[in-house]
Structures are given as C-alpha cells and as structure tokens.
C-alpha cells in the first residue's frame, strides 16, 4: 500500500498517489533521456468540501501538480482518482464529463480572460460548450453566477478591461462555477491582487466551500494566506511533498526542517511575533539529476549522515500529520 492510503479516508473526493510529471528536455534528435522531475512521486488527498493548501517556493512543482491532477499537463506515472474514477485512464467523452466537475482558477486575471469578449460570453462559454443551458436561459444563469461572486448583473455587458483586478478574478471564479464543479484548483488566486482586495476573493472562496461544499486545492507561496483558508496544508519541495497535516497543527508545530525555515522567514508585522530566524544556505536542488537521500539534505541545518543516503518516506508522525524526515 502506498502512503496515499495513510490518512486518506474512503470518502475522499480526490486521491492522488505516486504521481509523477517529468518533462523531457534537451535535443529531440539525439537523446531524450534527460528529464525535469517537476512532480516526483506525490501522494495527496482532498476530502469532499475540504480545502487543501499546497505551499512551496517558486519552481517546487506546485503549479505542475495542480495541472497534472486536471490533466492540463499529462502525468508520466501514478494515479489520480476523482470520486472513485481513474482520471488518467479516461479519454474523449468520459474525460470531458469528469472535467466538468473539476475546474481551475489562475493567478493572473489579466491573462486568463479574453479581452475581446463580453463578460456574459466568458462566463457562459463553458455552459454552452457542455450544452448545459439553452441560449435563451443564458442571461439568467450568468446573472446568478455573478451574484455568487458578489457582482451586480449589469457586469455581464462589460469587457475585462473595464474591470479591476479583483473584479476580474471574480469573473474567473464565476466562470469556474458555471459547471457546478465539486473541486476547484485555485493556483495563486490572490497573488496578483492588491492587498486590500485579497480578502474579498478569499471570502468568496470560503463561502463556496461552506455553501456549495466545493473542495479546493489552494496553491500559494504565501503561508499566511494558506493558514487562513486551508483545512489541511501540504508543503512541497523540489517536486515532493515533505510535510502534510491539519492546518493549525502544521502551522503551530511544524515538523520538517524546511517547513520550519519557511515559517521563520515570513516577515511579521507584530514585533512580538518575530521568532529566531533560521537561514538557508544554497539553492533548491536540480530537478534533473536524481538525488540519493533527502532532497533537502544539502541545505538542512540538522542534516545527518543517513539523510544523504536514504530518501525519507512521507510517514505518519502523529494523528493526521505526516512528514518526510529521518529526524522526527
């Protein structure tokens, strides 16, 4: 049994195990045996109506993981089970049917909305593509979806350039909601927004969870935002999950040395909150060369000999709290 089984419950909506997404690079004509291991053996699960926060620094593979789950990029190994369905085995009509239930929101609402189309068309497009609404019903449906994200119906006649970043992100959410999904991947949904409007978007996402029971994979580099919104948190480093657990437990008593470094690096507004800083040396490892042992060993302040030789498994350390570290 893989580690995904540990801590995963039978009623999980999403069960990802041993997922790998490796990208080939280098010359196509001579050799293709060099790979970037963007996602390298990931086990995660998301319960129905649950928010799983996925944190990590740029280049750790968190965006690729989100896209692999939806098959926006094709994983090279592993399984993704959504509501019991083996997503990686599907194609054609069956894949389309599952995709209706899984949606994505991107970071940059300036890039993700077509500038030449009215908001009404943008939001209604998925409905029409999946033949879920007649043309005559569209305005009513769009008005309802705009209401779900706190916008007045008249916004349907506007274009993206007439709207602020926060309003555009609401449109992206309304579009994702149009197919009544059970699961949404939200990839850095507030990172491009002004600080003062981030809370509006986070509150909408929380409301979707509470009122509609939508589960979220909330991907972010911002630990404080993730702490606020997530039920559970998974920490990713160099293509692997290094720690995962209940949000408040993971934030108050992180186990993995990398999680501890991340937390201690967040600048604190409250001077009393500042803790002793742990500083990192070096850079994340190359995702091309396979590394024996723990991927964090080269930078870990507590590294021991075993860490350089044996890769630690993501083991259960206490109820609902897993970490991949020999020392804990």
Q: Which residues bind to another protein, rule: CB under 8 A? A: 57-58, 164-167, 194-200, 202-203, 206, 221-225, 227-228, 247-248, 251-252, 261-271, 273-274, 277, 279-280, 283
End-to-end CA distance of the chain: 22
Smallest gap from Cβ 226 to another protein, in A, equals 9
- Listed residue (235, 238, 242, 236) closest to 288, CA to CA: 238
Q: Toward another protein, which CB reaches closer, 118 or 260?
A: 260
42/197 Cα distance (integer angstroms): 33
- Listed residue (281, 279, 252) closest to 265, CA to CA: 279
Computed on alpha carbons and rounded to an integer, the radius of gyration of the chain in Å comes to: 21
Q: Toward another protein, which CB reaches closer, 57 or 125?
A: 57
Q: Toward another protein, which CB reaches closer, 212 or 274?
A: 274
Smallest gap from Cβ 180 to another protein, in A, equals 25
CA distances from 198 to 62, 164, 193, 290 (A): 21, 12, 6, 39
45/33 Cα distance (integer angstroms): 31
Smallest gap from Cβ 249 to another protein, in A, equals 11
- CA quadruple 62, 210, 94, 41: dihedral sign: positive
Q: Toward another protein, which CB reaches closer, 195 or 292?
A: 195
Q: Toward another protein, which CB reaches closer, 164 or 309?
A: 164
Q: Toward another protein, which CB reaches closer, 156 or 229?
A: 229
Smallest gap from Cβ 134 to another protein, in A, equals 34
Q: Toward another protein, which CB reaches closer, 19 or 163?
A: 163
183/209 Cα distance (integer angstroms): 10
CB distance 4 to 323 below 8 Å: no
296/256 Cα distance (integer angstroms): 10
């Amino acid at each position: 049994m893989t580690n995904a089984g540990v801590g995963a419950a039978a009623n999980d909506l999403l069960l990802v195990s041993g997922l790998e997404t490796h990208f080939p690079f280098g010359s196509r004509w001579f050799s293709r045996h060099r790979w970037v291991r963007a996602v390298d053996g990931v086990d995660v699960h998301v319960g129905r109506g649950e928010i799983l926060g996925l944190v990590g620094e740029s280049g750790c593979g968190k965006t690729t993981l989100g896209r692999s789950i939806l098959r926006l990029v094709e994983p090279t190994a592993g399984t993704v089970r959504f509501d019991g369905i083996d997503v990686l085995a599907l194609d054609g009509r069956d894949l389309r049917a599952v995709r209706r239930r899984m949606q994505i929101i991107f970071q940059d609402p300036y890039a993700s909305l077509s500038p030449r189309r009215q908001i009404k068309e943008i939001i209604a497009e998925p409905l029409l593509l999946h033949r879920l609404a007649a043309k005559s019903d569209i305005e009513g449906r769009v008005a309802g979806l705009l209401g779900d994200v706190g916008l007045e119906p008249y916004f349907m006649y506007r274009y993206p350039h007439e709207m602020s970043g926060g309003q555009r992100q609401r449109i992206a959410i309304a579009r994702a909601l149009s197919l009544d999904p059970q699961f949404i991947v939200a990839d850095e949904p507030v990172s491009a927004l002004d600080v003062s409007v981030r809370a509006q978007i986070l509150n909408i996402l929380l409301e979707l969870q509470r009122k509609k029971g939508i589960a979220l994979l909330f991907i972010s580099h911002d630990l404080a935002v993730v702490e606020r919104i997530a039920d559970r948190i998974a920490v990713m480093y160099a293509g692997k999950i290094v720690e995962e657990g209940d949000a408040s437990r993971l934030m108050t008593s992180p186990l993995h040395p990398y999680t501890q470094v991340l937390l201690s690096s967040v600048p604190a507004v409250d001077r009393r909150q500042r803790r002793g800083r742990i500083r990192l040396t070096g850079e994340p490892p190359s995702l091309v060369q396979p590394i024996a042992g723990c991927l964090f060993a080269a930078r870990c302040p507590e590294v021991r000999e075993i860490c350089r030789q044996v890769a630690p498994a993501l083991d259960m350390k206490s109820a609902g709290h897993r970490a991949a570290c020999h020392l804990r």
